[in-house]
Every structure is written in structure tokens, then in C-alpha cells.
Structure 1
Amino acid sequence: MTERLTNPVAILPDAMKGIQNIFKAIHSSGASGTVLELVHLRASQINGCAPCVYGGIKSALKNGETDERLHQVVAWRDTDLFTDAERAALALTEEATRIADRPEAVADPTWAAAAEHFDERELSAIILMIGLTNMFNRINATTRAKAGATW
């Protein structure tokens, strides 16, 4: 498939300024970088976003994540490689990404599990990371961005 469009932030650079400000807020929240990387990767896997899966794995490895854990993110429920907090964040990611799959976007038990492990600042960062990742996934899918492309 041929890419349809240059990355929109290259065409509208002011958009990147806003995205960078959101990322700055996310990473100053106190939320674990590992959790944020896992959230980004899982949402990107669900949405089939090759550029984000590629970039997410590359970034996670750079920040100390292991190949073994990254290979298991797609099947996180079936392995003991993730902490209870990471599992809560991954469950929240799945439900918040697949909002059309159920009457309530995020079920109360899923929210309660996440709130048990993360304070309001951390939850805010996780939710913003889920939202940004879903935005990136949709932009990349729409423009047919190739894996290896970066923002």
C-alpha cells in the first residue's frame, strides 16, 4: 500500500506543539514509564497500527523493557510477567480502546482495579496516553503510514 499523505503534523506543525505539551504533562504525572509504554503498545496492537507497534517496541526497549515481556503484551492475561498494576492498566487500555464493544466503555470493576493501583494523576496520564495512542493509530491507519515512520 502506498502512503496517502505525509504525516499531518509535518503539514500542520502547530499540531505537534499541542501533542508535545500533552506528552510533557503525561510524563510529569508520576506514572511509571513502563506502564505508559505498555499502554501505548497494547492499544496499538488492538488497532493494528504498524508504525505505533514498531515505535512502541523500539521506545520500550530503549527504556529498559525486555523482549520477553514485549512479546507477551498481546497475551498479557496468560502470563505471569506483568504486575497487578500493569494488568490493571492493560485492562483499562483494552476497554478504553474498544469502547464500542460494550454498553459501558469502561466497566466499573476495570476502573476500580486501575484506581486501586494508580492515583488520580497517574490515572489521568494513563487515560491521556490511551487517548493519544488511539489518535495516532487512527491517523496512521487513515494515511497508511508505514512501520518505521516517526512523529
Structure 2
Amino acid sequence: MKARMNHPAFVLPGTFDALQALSKTLENTGLPDSTVHLVHLRASQVNGCSFCVEMHTKEAVEAGESVERLFAVSAWRESLRFSDAERAALALTEAATRIADRPDAVSDEVWDTAADHYDEKQLAALIMQIATINVWNRINATIQQPAGVAPGE
């Protein structure tokens, strides 16, 4: 399997650097790294981005995340492996990723639950993490970037 085209982030000058700069602003926000890994993985699963599912699973394992929790992300609602705060982040991830699936994209219930667990800076970081992974997922899904192959190879 081969991507349809060279990765747009490398085709357009400065695009990769801009996306990396955005990601850099999301460091040291108080949002736990483990939550970021879960959010990246869940959005990538929802969006069917195999490249990002593989990459973020590997990153999470390297950061010390348990394989059992990573296996459970796709069915997080039925798993006892996640804290209430992580569940709130995963619910917000799904709502913000599937915005066209319901008239009220992010319900007050989902929002209020997330706001109960995260302060304003953490919520801002969580929203930006969700938005950023969705950008990568949509690019990779559109060009059919295969897992196991780095963009540009």
C-alpha cells in the first residue's frame, strides 16, 4: 500500500513546521501526558487513521502506558481501567471528533463533565489536542497514509 501523494505537510513549505509549532504550545499545560496519549489514540481510532493509531500506541507504550489500557480505549465506556477525568476527556474527544453526528455537537453534559475535571488551561489544551490530532487524522485518511511507513518515504 502506498499513500496517494506525498504528505501535504511536507509538500507545502512551512506546513510541517507550523503544525509542530502548534504541538509545542501544548506542552506543559497541566494536562497529563497519559490523557494526551488516550485522546490521540481514540480520535485516531474514530477517524480510521491507521498511521496515527500505530504511532500513538507506540508513543504511549514508550511513555509507560499499559497495553491493557490501550487495548481498552476503543471500548472505554465499558472498561474500569480509566479514571473519571480520563473518561471525561475521551467523551469530549469523541464529541468534538464526531461533530456532525448530532445536532448539539458537544452536549452540555459532556462539556460540564470535562469542566468538572480540568481547569481552563487544561480544557484549552484538551480542545487543542483534539483539534490537532483531527487535522493529522484527516490529512492521513485523505491521502491514505499507510501505517508502518513514515510520511515522505
Instruction: Classify the TM-score, shorter chain.
Output: over 0.9
User: Following TM superposition, where does structure 1 have runs of at least 4 consecutive aligned residues deviating by more than 3 angstroms?
Assistant: none
1:106-150 deviations in Å (ceiling 9; x for gaps): 000100000011111111111111111111111011111010234
Q: Which moved more, 1:68-77 or 1:136-145?
A: 136-145
Q: TM-score, normalised by structure 2?
A: 0.94
1:77-131 deviations in Å (ceiling 9; x for gaps): 1011000000000000000001011111100010000001111111111111111
SS at 2:65 equivalent: coil
1-structure distance, mates of 2:33, 2:13: 26
1:70 matched to 2:61? The reply is no
Q: CA RMSD in A?
A: 1.2
1-structure distance, mates of 2:149, 2:128: 22
2-structure distance, mates of 1:149, 1:13: 21
2-structure distance, mates of 1:148, 1:78: 30
Equivalent residue number for residue 32 of structure 1: 32
SS at 1:27 equivalent: coil
- Per-residue deviation, 1:12: 2.1
Equivalent residue number for residue 59 of structure 1: 59
Mapping of residues 1-151 of structure 1, within 5 Å: 1-150=1-150
Q: TM-score, normalised by structure 1?
A: 0.95
Flag the 1:38–1:134 CA change in 2: closer, same or farther, 3 A: same
How many residue pairs get aligned? The number is 151
1-structure distance, mates of 2:133, 2:125: 12
